A and B are shown apart, each in its own frame.
Chain A
Protein backbone atom coordinates (compact mmCIF):
# COMPACT_ATOMS: atom_id res chain seq x y z
CA UNK A 1 0.00 0.00 0.00
CA UNK A 2 1.40 3.36 -0.98
CA UNK A 3 1.72 6.26 1.46
CA UNK A 4 -1.03 8.19 -0.33
CA UNK A 5 -3.43 5.29 0.16
CA UNK A 6 -2.65 5.05 3.88
CA UNK A 7 -3.18 8.79 4.28
CA UNK A 8 -6.42 8.57 2.32
CA UNK A 9 -7.85 5.74 4.40
CA UNK A 10 -6.81 7.28 7.73
CA UNK A 11 -8.36 10.66 6.97
CA UNK A 12 -11.42 9.18 5.24
CA UNK A 13 -12.04 7.13 8.39
CA UNK A 14 -11.64 10.21 10.61
CA UNK A 15 -13.92 12.14 8.25
CA UNK A 16 -16.72 9.57 8.45
CA UNK A 17 -16.34 9.10 12.20
CA UNK A 18 -16.41 12.83 12.93
CA UNK A 19 -19.31 13.37 10.51
CA UNK A 20 -21.40 10.80 12.36
CA UNK A 21 -20.36 12.29 15.69
CA UNK A 22 -21.65 15.69 14.51
CA UNK A 23 -25.20 14.31 14.52
CA UNK A 24 -24.92 11.97 17.51
CA UNK A 25 -23.10 14.17 20.05
CA UNK A 26 -25.36 15.72 22.67
CA UNK A 27 -23.29 18.84 23.32
CA UNK A 28 -23.77 21.30 20.48
CA UNK A 29 -20.33 22.92 20.96
CA UNK A 30 -18.68 19.53 20.60
CA UNK A 31 -20.80 18.80 17.54
CA UNK A 32 -19.58 22.05 15.96
CA UNK A 33 -15.97 21.15 16.75
CA UNK A 34 -16.47 17.73 15.13
CA UNK A 35 -17.81 19.54 12.05
CA UNK A 36 -14.57 21.55 12.03
CA UNK A 37 -12.61 18.30 12.15
CA UNK A 38 -14.74 17.08 9.24
CA UNK A 39 -13.78 20.11 7.15
CA UNK A 40 -10.09 19.73 7.98
CA UNK A 41 -10.14 16.04 6.96
CA UNK A 42 -11.89 16.76 3.67
CA UNK A 43 -9.36 19.54 3.02
CA UNK A 44 -6.62 16.94 3.39
CA UNK A 45 -8.42 14.60 0.97
CA UNK A 46 -8.62 17.44 -1.56
CA UNK A 47 -4.95 18.08 -1.02
CA UNK A 48 -4.32 14.44 -2.01
CA UNK A 49 -6.22 15.16 -5.25
CA UNK A 50 -3.73 17.99 -5.94
CA UNK A 51 -6.50 20.58 -5.51
CA UNK A 52 -4.39 22.60 -3.08
CA UNK A 53 -6.14 25.91 -3.74
CA UNK A 54 -9.54 24.43 -2.94
CA UNK A 55 -8.15 22.62 0.10
CA UNK A 56 -6.56 25.74 1.56
CA UNK A 57 -9.57 27.92 0.82
CA UNK A 58 -11.80 25.34 2.50
CA UNK A 59 -9.68 25.72 5.64
CA UNK A 60 -9.43 29.49 5.28
CA UNK A 61 -13.11 30.22 4.59
CA UNK A 62 -15.07 27.46 6.29
CA UNK A 63 -12.81 26.49 9.18
CA UNK A 64 -11.22 29.91 9.75
CA UNK A 65 -14.27 32.13 9.39
CA UNK A 66 -17.66 30.45 8.96
CA UNK A 67 -17.26 27.84 11.68
CA UNK A 68 -15.84 30.42 14.08
CA UNK A 69 -19.05 32.41 13.77
CA UNK A 70 -21.05 29.20 14.08
CA UNK A 71 -19.22 28.32 17.28
CA UNK A 72 -19.69 31.89 18.47
CA UNK A 73 -23.49 31.56 18.16
CA UNK A 74 -23.73 27.99 19.45
CA UNK A 75 -21.76 28.87 22.59
CA UNK A 76 -24.16 31.65 23.49
CA UNK A 77 -27.31 29.59 22.94
CA UNK A 78 -28.87 27.93 25.95
CA UNK A 79 -29.95 24.65 24.37
CA UNK A 80 -32.45 22.50 26.29
CA UNK A 81 -31.27 18.97 25.40
CA UNK A 82 -34.21 17.22 27.07
CA UNK A 83 -36.72 19.20 24.99
CA UNK A 84 -34.75 18.43 21.85
CA UNK A 85 -35.01 14.69 22.45
CA UNK A 86 -38.66 14.67 23.55
CA UNK A 87 -40.32 13.94 20.18
CA UNK A 88 -37.72 11.41 19.02
CA UNK A 89 -39.88 8.30 18.80
CA UNK A 90 -42.95 10.11 17.45
CA UNK A 91 -41.05 11.72 14.55
CA UNK A 92 -38.82 8.73 13.82
CA UNK A 93 -40.91 7.22 10.93
CA UNK A 94 -41.28 10.59 9.19
CA UNK A 95 -37.57 11.31 9.71
CA UNK A 96 -36.61 7.94 8.24
CA UNK A 97 -38.72 8.58 5.16
CA UNK A 98 -37.18 12.03 4.66
CA UNK A 99 -33.68 10.66 5.23
CA UNK A 100 -34.32 7.87 2.70
CA UNK A 101 -35.56 10.38 0.11
CA UNK A 102 -32.55 12.66 0.61
CA UNK A 103 -30.20 9.69 0.39
CA UNK A 104 -31.87 8.50 -2.82
CA UNK A 105 -31.65 11.98 -4.33
CA UNK A 106 -27.95 12.32 -3.48
CA UNK A 107 -27.20 8.75 -4.59
CA UNK A 108 -28.84 9.30 -7.96
CA UNK A 109 -26.36 12.13 -8.59
CA UNK A 110 -23.12 10.85 -7.08
CA UNK A 111 -23.50 7.08 -7.40
CA UNK A 112 -20.70 4.89 -8.70
CA UNK A 113 -22.50 4.80 -12.07
CA UNK A 114 -21.54 8.42 -12.68
CA UNK A 115 -18.38 8.70 -10.59
CA UNK A 116 -17.05 5.14 -10.63
CA UNK A 117 -13.62 4.09 -11.83
CA UNK A 118 -15.11 3.18 -15.25
CA UNK A 119 -16.65 6.62 -15.74
CA UNK A 120 -13.49 8.57 -14.95
CA UNK A 121 -9.97 7.98 -16.13
CA UNK A 122 -7.22 8.19 -13.50
CA UNK A 123 -6.12 11.86 -13.48
CA UNK A 124 -2.54 12.40 -14.54
CA UNK A 125 -0.18 13.76 -11.88
CA UNK A 126 0.93 17.31 -12.53
CA UNK A 127 4.57 18.51 -12.43
CA UNK A 128 5.70 20.27 -9.23
CA UNK A 129 5.64 23.78 -10.71
CA UNK A 130 2.02 23.41 -11.94
CA UNK A 131 -0.14 26.11 -10.36
CA UNK A 132 -3.81 25.20 -10.20
CA UNK A 133 -4.62 28.68 -8.85
CA UNK A 134 -3.89 30.17 -12.29
CA UNK A 135 -5.93 27.46 -14.04
CA UNK A 136 -8.83 28.02 -11.67
CA UNK A 137 -8.67 31.79 -12.15
CA UNK A 138 -8.69 31.43 -15.92
CA UNK A 139 -11.71 29.11 -15.80
CA UNK A 140 -13.69 31.21 -13.32
CA UNK A 141 -13.23 34.45 -15.25
CA UNK A 142 -13.80 32.97 -18.73
CA UNK A 143 -15.88 29.79 -19.07
CA UNK A 144 -17.71 29.96 -15.75
CA UNK A 145 -18.02 33.73 -15.50
CA UNK A 146 -21.84 33.74 -15.52
CA UNK A 147 -22.34 31.16 -12.70
CA UNK A 148 -19.59 32.91 -10.73
CA UNK A 149 -21.38 36.27 -10.95
CA UNK A 150 -24.69 34.60 -10.10
CA UNK A 151 -23.13 33.17 -6.92
CA UNK A 152 -21.85 36.65 -6.05
CA UNK A 153 -25.35 38.12 -6.51
CA UNK A 154 -26.77 35.34 -4.34
CA UNK A 155 -24.37 36.35 -1.55
CA UNK A 156 -25.35 40.00 -2.00
CA UNK A 157 -29.02 39.04 -1.62
CA UNK A 158 -28.17 37.17 1.57
CA UNK A 159 -26.38 40.25 2.94
CA UNK A 160 -29.31 42.53 2.08
CA UNK A 161 -31.74 40.07 3.71
CA UNK A 162 -29.64 39.82 6.88
CA UNK A 163 -29.36 43.59 7.16
CA UNK A 164 -33.08 44.14 6.56
CA UNK A 165 -33.88 41.57 9.28
CA UNK A 166 -31.74 43.32 11.88
CA UNK A 167 -32.29 46.93 10.80
CA UNK A 168 -34.23 48.77 13.49
CA UNK A 169 -34.96 52.08 11.85
CA UNK A 170 -32.74 55.10 11.62
CA UNK A 171 -30.53 55.84 14.59
CA UNK A 172 -32.30 58.41 16.69
CA UNK A 173 -30.95 57.29 20.02
CA UNK A 174 -27.87 58.86 21.49
CA UNK A 175 -24.71 57.29 20.15
CA UNK A 176 -21.08 58.15 20.46
CA UNK A 177 -19.65 59.69 17.33
CA UNK A 178 -15.94 58.82 17.25
CA UNK A 179 -15.13 61.42 14.60
CA UNK A 180 -16.50 64.14 16.92
CA UNK A 181 -14.64 62.67 19.86
CA UNK A 182 -11.40 62.77 17.91
CA UNK A 183 -12.02 66.27 16.54
CA UNK A 184 -12.55 67.85 19.95
CA UNK A 185 -10.13 70.63 20.91
CA UNK A 186 -9.15 71.84 24.30
CA UNK A 187 -10.68 75.21 23.41
CA UNK A 188 -14.15 73.64 22.95
CA UNK A 189 -14.23 72.16 26.41
CA UNK A 190 -12.11 74.30 28.72
CA UNK A 191 -12.46 77.99 29.25
CA UNK A 192 -9.92 79.82 31.33
CA UNK A 193 -11.40 82.76 33.17
CA UNK A 194 -9.15 85.51 34.46
CA UNK A 195 -10.14 86.47 37.99
CA UNK A 196 -8.88 89.15 40.23
CA UNK A 197 -6.81 87.84 43.13
CA UNK A 198 -8.85 87.55 46.33
CA UNK A 199 -7.26 87.86 49.73
CA UNK A 200 -8.76 85.47 52.26
CA UNK A 201 -9.94 86.77 55.58
CA UNK A 202 -7.44 85.84 58.27
CA UNK A 203 -9.33 83.23 60.34
CA UNK A 204 -8.55 82.77 64.02
CA UNK A 205 -6.05 79.89 64.52
CA UNK A 206 -8.11 76.81 65.48
CA UNK A 207 -5.33 75.28 67.56
CA UNK A 208 -5.33 78.22 69.95
CA UNK A 209 -9.06 77.83 70.59
CA UNK A 210 -8.62 74.09 71.28
CA UNK A 211 -5.81 74.56 73.80
CA UNK A 212 -7.69 77.08 75.90
Chain B
Protein backbone atom coordinates (compact mmCIF):
# COMPACT_ATOMS: atom_id res chain seq x y z
CA UNK B 1 0.00 0.00 0.00
CA UNK B 2 1.56 3.21 -1.17
CA UNK B 3 1.73 6.20 1.09
CA UNK B 4 0.81 9.36 -0.79
CA UNK B 5 1.23 12.95 0.31
CA UNK B 6 -1.73 15.09 -0.65
CA UNK B 7 -0.34 18.56 -1.34
CA UNK B 8 -3.66 20.14 -0.37
CA UNK B 9 -4.25 18.24 2.85
CA UNK B 10 -0.50 18.25 3.55
CA UNK B 11 -0.71 14.75 4.92
CA UNK B 12 0.66 11.34 4.04
CA UNK B 13 -2.34 9.12 3.45
CA UNK B 14 -2.87 5.54 2.36
CA UNK B 15 -3.20 4.68 -1.30
CA UNK B 16 -6.79 3.47 -0.88
CA UNK B 17 -7.88 7.10 -0.35
CA UNK B 18 -6.70 8.03 -3.83
CA UNK B 19 -7.46 7.37 -7.46
CA UNK B 20 -4.88 7.41 -10.18
CA UNK B 21 -5.71 9.71 -13.07
CA UNK B 22 -3.11 9.08 -15.74
CA UNK B 23 -0.03 10.89 -16.93
CA UNK B 24 0.36 14.54 -15.94
CA UNK B 25 1.16 17.60 -18.02
CA UNK B 26 -0.79 16.49 -21.06
CA UNK B 27 -2.64 19.64 -21.84
CA UNK B 28 -5.89 19.51 -23.70
CA UNK B 29 -5.60 21.70 -26.79
CA UNK B 30 -7.63 24.88 -26.76
CA UNK B 31 -8.76 24.12 -30.29
CA UNK B 32 -8.81 20.38 -30.91
CA UNK B 33 -10.25 20.89 -34.37
CA UNK B 34 -6.92 22.36 -35.43
CA UNK B 35 -5.21 19.09 -34.57
CA UNK B 36 -4.39 16.56 -37.30
CA UNK B 37 -5.50 12.98 -36.78
CA UNK B 38 -1.97 12.06 -35.79
CA UNK B 39 -1.72 14.92 -33.29
CA UNK B 40 -5.07 14.00 -31.86
CA UNK B 41 -3.99 10.35 -31.56
CA UNK B 42 -0.93 11.50 -29.65
CA UNK B 43 -3.07 13.58 -27.29
CA UNK B 44 -5.53 10.76 -26.74
CA UNK B 45 -3.31 7.74 -26.55
CA UNK B 46 0.44 8.27 -26.59
CA UNK B 47 1.93 8.25 -23.13
CA UNK B 48 5.52 8.30 -22.01
CA UNK B 49 5.24 5.07 -19.98
CA UNK B 50 8.82 5.40 -18.68
CA UNK B 51 10.81 2.93 -16.66
CA UNK B 52 11.79 5.41 -14.01
CA UNK B 53 10.58 8.91 -13.25
CA UNK B 54 6.93 9.38 -14.09
CA UNK B 55 4.84 12.53 -13.82
CA UNK B 56 1.32 11.55 -13.04
CA UNK B 57 -2.00 12.72 -11.69
CA UNK B 58 -3.84 11.48 -8.62
CA UNK B 59 -7.13 12.46 -7.01
CA UNK B 60 -7.62 12.46 -3.27
CA UNK B 61 -10.99 11.00 -3.94
CA UNK B 62 -11.79 9.86 -0.41
CA UNK B 63 -10.30 12.98 1.08
CA UNK B 64 -10.35 16.52 -0.24
CA UNK B 65 -11.31 15.34 -3.75
CA UNK B 66 -8.62 17.52 -5.31
CA UNK B 67 -6.52 16.52 -8.29
CA UNK B 68 -2.80 16.91 -7.89
CA UNK B 69 0.40 15.81 -9.57
CA UNK B 70 3.07 13.44 -8.42
CA UNK B 71 6.52 12.34 -9.43
CA UNK B 72 6.99 8.65 -8.87
CA UNK B 73 9.61 6.09 -9.78
CA UNK B 74 7.85 3.35 -11.74
CA UNK B 75 10.45 0.75 -10.87
CA UNK B 76 10.40 1.15 -7.09
CA UNK B 77 6.92 2.76 -7.02
CA UNK B 78 8.40 5.31 -4.64
CA UNK B 79 6.83 8.79 -4.66
CA UNK B 80 9.56 11.36 -5.11
CA UNK B 81 7.27 14.34 -4.62
CA UNK B 82 3.71 15.59 -5.08
CA UNK B 83 2.57 19.09 -6.05
CA UNK B 84 -0.59 21.00 -6.72
CA UNK B 85 -2.37 20.87 -10.04
CA UNK B 86 -1.41 23.71 -12.34
CA UNK B 87 2.14 23.91 -11.02
CA UNK B 88 4.82 23.43 -13.68
CA UNK B 89 6.63 20.15 -14.11
CA UNK B 90 9.38 20.09 -11.44
CA UNK B 91 12.96 20.24 -12.60
CA UNK B 92 15.45 17.48 -12.02
CA UNK B 93 17.03 19.51 -9.28
CA UNK B 94 13.71 20.00 -7.50
CA UNK B 95 13.05 16.28 -7.69
CA UNK B 96 16.50 15.47 -6.35
CA UNK B 97 15.94 17.99 -3.57
CA UNK B 98 12.64 16.45 -2.64
CA UNK B 99 14.25 13.02 -2.34
CA UNK B 100 16.32 14.22 0.60
Chains A and B bind each other: no
Which of B's residues lie within 8 Å of A, judged by CB? none
Which of A's residues lie within 8 Å of B, judged by CB? none
